[in-house]
């Protein structure tokens, strides 16, 4: 490392940038997560891990933090983002607890709050929020996973008794992977097709008690245990089946659909499709919270790997007094520094998402357009951030070598637990497709270029129900023309305007090409149109990714510009390095596209690699500050190799050899003897040649 | 899927191509792996898993397969590749067993065989091979991981008693992550610095008993348990420390260095550096076997994911009678088909590696050049194949959604167990660096362009000790000039010659540029030269990767050409699709480089994406055959979702709805009512407009 690379940074300034307006609730979360008795011991049985997680959940709700999103009437603050940021910190000690809390508070209580009426709130909400009533969120079925519209469980109204009859008609309709189901749930919010008077009104949610006071399943309810999983051992996932289970009519969570005593259905939203997606939209919190939790896990892993890389020494360089630290190797810098940049970009985008989330749910900015944008961004950020977190944790684990594989150093456990984040709360591929379809619908309506009704046929009803983005993602086409000018090609590759122009240009062009390629579908048979659409499914997903990447870059760029270089010159410079590394890595990944489409000259393209190479070297000089800014201490890392074990061993080694030298007992090295002998022989040869 | 994509393939022809000349031992391995009592149950404790693995190891050695590599004198066949291919199949049922067997047979017995003399063979080898003497391979130390030259344990000769005194001077010198150490090893081959008559002769291996008959550590030996890891729960890894432990002089495995009774050291290899690397070279089998085992695990995972994707149906397409299978989605094809191509390429390269391995170790072709090439290829293939296996298993797990996260479907367990393959037996990054250094040294000596002595200073002694590749990897520069001609740019992108020219050209140019960039080092101070080298460390590794990718492509290409299109037209076509997909994915990953360096026209570059898109669609039509060719049955997959569970549930669902329709009890769909209402209203509007 070169001394001039190193900036003198104020870690608190960096922390304030990362934690933003929610610094206080994050600090509360970290204080909780750093406490005793929360870590699951590897030696415990599955049952012990589940029981310990249940107990920790009680401790967590006792903090009262889960009450903040409640309406004022119930003692809450109608404040929807702070408790999420508190909860996400829990991932640092136990992803199982974070998810179990997410099931209980975000999903179970959240569904009661957002889909239920005031009487239902009075009956169940406080008990759920305060952990006296443990519950499940029984939406997913074996047969259809992320395709919720295809739920097959039925809730048929019986006017005779004014009850709903919940039924599981076949094995594929079992509620599956349901958190809290295997052991702890006393009740569940069950999603089922509401049938009354011979009409199927689509998926609705009902409150269904599932266990009696002694913990046994209620009559007609079968519960199976999912048993061992790839991670999250503290969460008791399981399956529910219902054999004509009856609940009172008033157990229907009826915000978007109710049934009168005599069986007449009514809803504030006439279109069944729109009603379904509006209902689903109220449950976006789960996806929002996974963005934050997965970036938090990524921070912890990067923190561990960077601390180890700064301490660990390997492979003596010639003539050096000491071996080099791992972090001084360029390849190691290339492995870890781009991950730090991703973490910063994800955090910047996440903070915006939280702002939008709170604005919508508090009612400050609750329009249909705002909800559509929130849902789309939540889907796109959930998909990309959870995947990146898995990559970051894996890179951190490998960067710690064999020590990274030891359970005591935390990284493998984090990796196992986070694995499922990529496929639950909406499979990542399905979510990116959703983003792509929204972009396409919006493009169609904005450009008046495609028949919107026509496009609806193959983008599916969800996207078609929600058009008209108001800003951000879709309206890029209006700005790119300005951004990309011939003069742009003269800019240095570290120019922010050039980076934005390249990223925006790719997003726009891929979307435009996609729309053009799909245009013939309007005149095709359904089968041919479906095949054409399938031919371009990959482009659809890559287009979605390009937009989300652009969105993240812009969030990071804005965060960078929020630092005044006059007040904080070093921090501004650091953030510029982070932003440039993030931008150039994205551009490099699609360099072929940028060149082949005439956006990037070959000359400029060749600058990218050496620029990245320099940026990682410079950032590595401040890697310690960069991870310190995440705000974790040894009580969070709980990882010997990150906090002193390695330094201590090295000191012991140095002391041993110093003493050996001092004592005169150091053996001679055969290599030195051999080298001297070779030199002597060479001299003799030379001499004999001279003679 | 389109019917014309589907080829009528003979699966046995494909299997024969994959299993090659070692089909018989692979079949034996599969028969063993498909047996009962080998799978570790998730509910078992760590102790139970370790004990079960020990018992399974006994069953395995009882097959007698481990004897084949022994010399004829000891009842063996001097046959070195067959038992490896038998062992690698075991990864399908228990990676723990595969690794424990690798430790016992490949490393412990292997070190005795390759580093010991005939008396030592007589004393320990048969007992080790037949599992009566369980042992460890105690090389790695906490402080230095993959940097074996830095081992700090000492073995000092005491002529008084004619014994070696083994000692662990400090904590960083503990032998760490040692398989069999925590519970089962009775002895260990310990790597230590041999010191006699005040001279340190570098790292040598000694046979050291570690436990008494009742399983307690012998005096002076401390054993610690590594406990819980990220996977491989059946392997009892642990740590050894030695407090002045004495073993007889004759326990030194003395093939490359011996000590006389009065303490005089002698060796058949004068240079200490060359001696060390020659000794290490005899242990290459570990890396070779990991190539095969990781590709085998990748096959099993891909098999499961493809079978599930062919059965599972999701998201109804408009007007379709039935939902589509996952495998009919283009994105799903894009996720899985390139993985199948990688598996084929890795298998083709692995078969060659085995041929070379057996030729060297049987003595049929045991030259220094052959060994150097074998070691370099083993390093490069181990690094890339283990990483690709992790990606393949992860993609398979995510492609199975929530079901992929359930332990009963095997994928998460495979992923956990294989994780450490990336960092043990030589860290993958270190191994790729080794390949890069070899390429550079060879380039220097061949081009007479760089001072070989000068380059040695910064590529390290290992590479400098072994120059002169005889073929393959390094001599590419002589052939590329012929391959890449202007006419090449007229070829179709599926031309094999074009693919080879692009891959070879990138390998050559990156190597040439790297050498040119490093040239100034010869005139620099050591510190500056080291810094220059570090600045290009990433290029070095990327160059190594480019050569290994080219090598794999060529192996796959040769395998493809081994199929006579006259005898097997469909199979030849299938293999061409596989090869083209493999080649185009590699070219696409570095498209920016190929265009920016003038090798690929922009026009042609734009063909790559649609060609890949078509290839995955075509290959998906035969995906079932492609995985059937791997040769596994339900007894290997042991995975409900891959073998019928999904189909059964779908049939049950279809039957239910058919019966419901037949009975006349099917409720009306509100969506249909709503649509008809909208149509009626539209008609009324139209009519009123007409009036």
On whether residue B5 sits in a domain, the answer given is no
Query: Residues 247..306 of B with a Cβ closer than 8 Å to A: which?
Result: 265, 270-273
Same domain, A75 and A142: yes
Q: Which residues of B touch A270 (CB under 8 A)?
A: 674
Q: Confidence class of residue B9 from pLDDT cuts 50, 70 and 90?
A: very high
Angle B11-19/B569-589 helices, nearest 10 degrees?
50
Determine, for residues A202 and B670 on separate chains, whether the beta-carbon distance falls below 8 Å. Answer: yes
State which residue of chain A sits closest to B529, comparing Cα positions: A318
CB contact, 8 Å: B422 with chain A?
Answer: yes
Q: Which residues of B touch A198 (CB under 8 A)?
A: 667-668
Same domain, A404 and A470: yes
Angle B602-621/B330-361 helices, nearest 10 degrees?
90
What is the C-alpha to C-alpha distance for residues B225 and B508, in angstroms, rounded to an integer?
47
Determine, for residues A668 and B200 on separate chains, whether the beta-carbon distance falls below 8 Å. Answer: yes
What is the C-alpha to C-alpha distance for residues B226 and B417, in angstroms, rounded to an integer?
15
C-alpha of B672 from chain center? 55
What is the C-alpha to C-alpha distance for residues A600 and A617, in angstroms, rounded to an integer?
25
Is this model's pTM higher than 0.90 or not?
yes
Same domain, B194 and B298: no
**How confident is the model over A200-246, as pLDDT tens digits?**
999 999 999 999 999 999 999 999 999 999 999 999 999 999 999 99
- Closest among B468, B172, B42, B453 to A648, alpha carbons compared: B172
On whether residue B461 sits in a domain, the answer given is yes
**How confident is the model over B328-367, as pLDDT tens digits?**
999 999 999 999 999 999 999 999 999 999 999 999 999 9
Determine, for residues B670 and A199 on separate chains, whether the beta-carbon distance falls below 8 Å. Answer: yes
> Angle at the Cα of B217 (from B214 to B219), degrees rounded to 5?
115
pLDDT at B477: 45
pLDDT at B456: 53
Number of residues assigned to chain B: 691
Same domain, A158 and A259: yes
Comparing A270-279, A319-328, B15-24, B52-61, which segment has the lowest mean pLDDT? A319-328
Query: Residues 534..573 of B with a Cβ closer than 8 Å to A: which?
Result: 534-538, 541
**How confident is the model over A550-564, as pLDDT tens digits?**
999 999 999 999 999
On whether residue A86 sits in a domain, the answer given is yes
**Terminal Cα distance for chain A, rounded:** 50
Q: Sort A37 into a burial class: Cβ within 10 Å, 0-12 / 13-18 / 19+.
A: exposed
- Bridge partners of B224, per DSSP, are B239
- Bridge partners of A356, per DSSP, are none
Q: Which of A411, A650, A670 sits opposite B200 (nearest CB)?
A: A670
Same domain, B261 and B123: yes
State which residue of chain A sits closest to B607, comparing Cα positions: A596
What is the C-alpha to C-alpha distance for residues B46 and A651, in angstroms, rounded to an integer?
34
**How confident is the model over B191-226, as pLDDT tens digits?**
999 999 999 999 999 999 999 999 999 999 999 999
- Closest among B600, B551, B560 to B578, alpha carbons compared: B560
Q: Which residues of A touch B458 (CB under 8 A)?
A: 318
Instruction: Verify whether residue B425 is a known catalytic residue.
Output: yes
Query: Residues 494..523 of B with a Cβ closer than 8 Å to A: which?
Result: none
Number of domains forming the structure of chain B: 2
Number of residues assigned to chain A: 691
Same domain, A212 and A329: no
What is the C-alpha to C-alpha distance for residues A298 and A389, in angstroms, rounded to an integer?
5
What 3 state SS string does B41-58 have? CCCCCHHHHHHHHHHHHH
Radius of gyration over every alpha carbon of chain A, rounded to an integer in angstroms: 29
Q: List the CATH number of the domain containing B240.
A: 2.40.110.10
Size of the A and B interface in Cβ pairs below 8 Å: 296
Comparing A645-649, B391-395, B594-598, which segment has the lowest mean pLDDT? B594-598
Domain boundary among B607, B629, B651: B629
Query: Residues 357..416 of B with a Cβ closer than 8 Å to A: which?
Result: 390, 394, 397-398, 401-402, 404-408, 411-413, 415-416
What is the C-alpha to C-alpha distance for residues A436 and A103, in angstroms, rounded to an integer?
28
Q: Which of B320, B330, B402 sits opposite A177 (nearest CB)?
A: B402
Q: Which of A172, A273, A670 sits opposite B201 (nearest CB)?
A: A670
Q: Which DSSP string do the residues of B226-284 spell out, in sequence order? A: ---BSS-TTS--EEEEESSEEEEGGGB--SS-EE-TTS-EE-S--SHHHHHHHHHHTTT
Determine, for residues B535 and A667 on separate chains, whether the beta-carbon distance falls below 8 Å. Answer: no
What is the C-alpha to C-alpha distance for residues B192 and B662, in angstroms, rounded to an integer?
80
What is the C-alpha to C-alpha distance for residues B455 and B440, in angstroms, rounded to an integer?
8
On whether residue A242 sits in a domain, the answer given is yes
CB contact, 8 Å: A228 with chain B?
Answer: yes
Q: Which residues of A touch B530 (CB under 8 A)?
A: 317-318, 320
Same domain, B134 and B217: yes
Q: Which DSSP string do the residues of B452-480 spell out, in sequence order? A: HHHHHHHH-HHHHHS----STTGGGHHHH
Collect all residues with Cβ–Cβ distance below 8 Å to A536 and sequence separation of at least 6.
A514, A517, A518, B330
CB contact, 8 Å: B602 with chain A?
Answer: yes
Q: Which residues of B touch A236 (CB under 8 A)?
A: none
Domain boundary among B593, B609, B629: B629
CB contact, 8 Å: B610 with chain A?
Answer: no
Determine, for residues A319 and B433 on separate chains, whether the beta-carbon distance falls below 8 Å. Answer: no
- Bridge partners of B265, per DSSP, are B259
Q: Confidence class of residue A23 from pLDDT cuts 50, 70 and 90?
A: very high
Same domain, A344 and A423: yes
Q: Return the residue matching tokens 């060359």.
A: B274
The whole-number average pLDDT for the span B359-382 is: 94
Tokens of B453: 């002595």
Q: Which residues of B touch A433 (CB under 8 A)?
A: 331
Tokens of A41: 């011991």
State which residue of chain A sits closest to B655, comparing Cα positions: A170
Q: The domain containing residue A550 runs over which residues?
A: 285-629
The answer to whether the beta carbons of residues B178 and B237 sit under 8 Å apart is: yes
On whether residue A173 sits in a domain, the answer given is yes
What is the C-alpha to C-alpha distance for residues A43 and A47, in angstroms, rounded to an integer?
11
Domain boundary among A629, A653, A680: A629
Q: List the CATH number of the domain containing B563.
A: 1.20.140.10
Same domain, A397 and A501: yes
Sign of the Cα torsion A517, A521, A527, A533 reads positive
Which of B592, B599, B676 to probe by mutation at the A interface, max A CB count within 10 Å? B592
Minimal CA separation from B330 to chain A, in Å: 6
**How confident is the model over B81-129, as pLDDT tens digits?**
999 999 999 999 999 999 999 999 999 999 999 999 999 999 999 999 9
pLDDT at A456: 53
Given the residues A425, A500, A585, A646, the one annotated as active site: A425
Q: Sort A267 into a burial class: Cβ within 10 Å, 0-12 / 13-18 / 19+.
A: buried
CB contact, 8 Å: A37 with chain B?
Answer: no
**Run of H or E residues at B202:** strand B199-209
Which of A592, A608, A611, A658 to probe by mutation at the B interface, max B CB count within 10 Å? A592
On whether residue B635 sits in a domain, the answer given is no
pLDDT at A480: 47
The answer to whether the beta carbons of residues B519 and B355 sit under 8 Å apart is: no
Q: Report the percent of chain B where pLDDT is more than 90.
A: 82
Same domain, B170 and B313: no
On whether residue A163 sits in a domain, the answer given is yes
CB contact, 8 Å: B150 with chain A?
Answer: yes
Q: Sort A599 into a burial class: Cβ within 10 Å, 0-12 / 13-18 / 19+.
A: buried
Same domain, A257 and A317: no
Q: Is the pLDDT of residue A468 over 60?
A: no
**How confident is the model over B560-574, as pLDDT tens digits?**
999 999 999 999 999
CB contact, 8 Å: A3 with chain B?
Answer: no
On whether residue A6 sits in a domain, the answer given is no
CB contact, 8 Å: B119 with chain A?
Answer: no
Same domain, A67 and A152: yes
**How confident is the model over B606-625, as pLDDT tens digits?**
899 999 999 999 999 999 99
The whole-number average pLDDT for the span B587-601 is: 92
What is the C-alpha to C-alpha distance for residues A209 and A206, in angstroms, rounded to an integer?
10
The answer to whether the beta carbons of residues A346 and A388 sit under 8 Å apart is: yes
Q: Which of A318, A411, A673 sits opposite B457 (nearest CB)?
A: A318
Tally Cβ neighbours within 10 Å of residue B248.
12
CB contact, 8 Å: B615 with chain A?
Answer: no
């Amino acid at each position: 490392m070169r001394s001039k690379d190193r900036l003198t940074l104020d870690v608190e300034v960096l922390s304030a940038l990362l934690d933003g307006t929610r610094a206080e609730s994050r600090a509360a979360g970290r204080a909780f997560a750093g406490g005793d008795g929360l870590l699951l011991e590897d030696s415990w049985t599955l049952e012990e891990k589940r029981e310990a997680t249940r107990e920790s959940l009680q401790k967590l709700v006792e903090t009262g933090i889960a009450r903040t999103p409640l309406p004022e009437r119930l003692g809450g603050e109608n404040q929807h983002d702070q408790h999420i940021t508190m909860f996400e910190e829990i991932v640092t000690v136990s992803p199982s607890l974070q998810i179990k809390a997410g099931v209980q508070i975000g999903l179970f209580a959240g569904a009661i709050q957002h889909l239920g009426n005031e009487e239902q709130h009075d009956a169940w909400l406080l008990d759920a929020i305060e952990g006296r009533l443990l519950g499940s969120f029984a939406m997913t079925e074996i047969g259809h996973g992320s395709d919720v519209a295809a739920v097959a469980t039925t809730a048929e109204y019986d006017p005779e008794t004014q009850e709903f009859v919940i039924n599981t008609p076949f094995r594929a309709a079992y509620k599956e992977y349901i958190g809290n189901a295997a052991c702890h749930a006393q009740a569940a919010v069950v999603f089922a097709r509401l049938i009354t008077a011979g009409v199927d009104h689509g998926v609705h949610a009902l409150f269904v008690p599932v266990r009696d006071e002694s913990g046994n399943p209620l009559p007609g309810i079968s519960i199976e245990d999912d048993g061992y999983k790839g991670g999250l051992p503290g969460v008791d996932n399981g399956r529910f089946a219902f054999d004509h289970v009856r609940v009172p009519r008033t157990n229907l969570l009826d915000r978007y659909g109710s049934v009168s005593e005599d069986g007449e259905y009514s809803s504030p939203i006439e279109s069944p499709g729109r009603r379904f997606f509006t209902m689903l939209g109220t449950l976006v919190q789960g996806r929002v919270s996974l963005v934050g939790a997965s970036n938090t896990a990524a921070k912890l892993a990067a923190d561990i790997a960077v601390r180890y890389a700064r301490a660990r020494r390997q492979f003596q360089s010639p003539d050096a007094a000491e071996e080099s630290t791992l972090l001084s190797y360029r390849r190691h810098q290339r492995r870890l520094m781009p991950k730090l940049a991703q973490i910063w970009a994800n955090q910047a985008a996440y903070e915006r998402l939280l702002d939008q989330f709170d604005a919508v749910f508090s009612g400050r900015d609750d329009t249909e357009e705002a909800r559509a944008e929130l849902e789309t961004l939540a889907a796109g950020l959930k998909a990309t951030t959870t995947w990146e977190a898995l990559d970051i944790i894996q890179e951190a684990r490998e960067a710690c070598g064999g020590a990274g594989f030891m359970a005591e150093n935390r990284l493998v456990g984090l990796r196992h637990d986070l694995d499922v984040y990529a496929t639950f709360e909406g499979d990542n591929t399905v979510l990116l497709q959703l983003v792509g379809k929204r972009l396409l619908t919006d493009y169609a309506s904005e450009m008046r270029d495609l028949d919107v009704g026509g496009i609806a046929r193959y983008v599916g009803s969800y996207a078609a129900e929600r058009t008209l983005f108001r800003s951000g993602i879709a309206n890029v086409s209006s700005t790119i023309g300005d951004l990309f000018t011939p003069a742009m090609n003269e800019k240095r590759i570290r120019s922010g305007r050039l980076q934005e122009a390249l990223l925006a240009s790719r997003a726009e062009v891929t979307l435009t090409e996609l729309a053009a390629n799909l245009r013939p579908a309007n005149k095709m048979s359904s089968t041919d149109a479906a095949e054409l659409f399938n031919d371009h499914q990959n482009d659809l997903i890559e287009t979605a990714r390009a937009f989300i990447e652009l969105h993240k870059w812009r969030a990071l760029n804005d965060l960078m510009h929020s630092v005044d270089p006059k007040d904080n010159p070093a921090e501004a410079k650091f953030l510029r390095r982070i932003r440039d590394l993030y931008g150039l890595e994205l551009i490099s990944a699609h360099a072929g596209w940028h060149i082949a489409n005439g956006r990037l000259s070959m000359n400029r393209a060749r600058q990218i690699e050496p620029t990245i190479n320099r940026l990682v070297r410079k950032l590595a000089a401040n890697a310690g500050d960069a991870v310190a800014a995440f705000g974790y201490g040894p009580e969070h890392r709980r990882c010997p190799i990150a906090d002193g074990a390695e330094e201590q061993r090295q000191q012991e080694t140095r002391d041993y050899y110093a003493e050996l030298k001092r004592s005169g007992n150091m053996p001679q090295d055969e290599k030195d003897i051999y080298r001297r002998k070779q030199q002597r022989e060479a001299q003799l040869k030379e001499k004999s040649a001279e003679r």
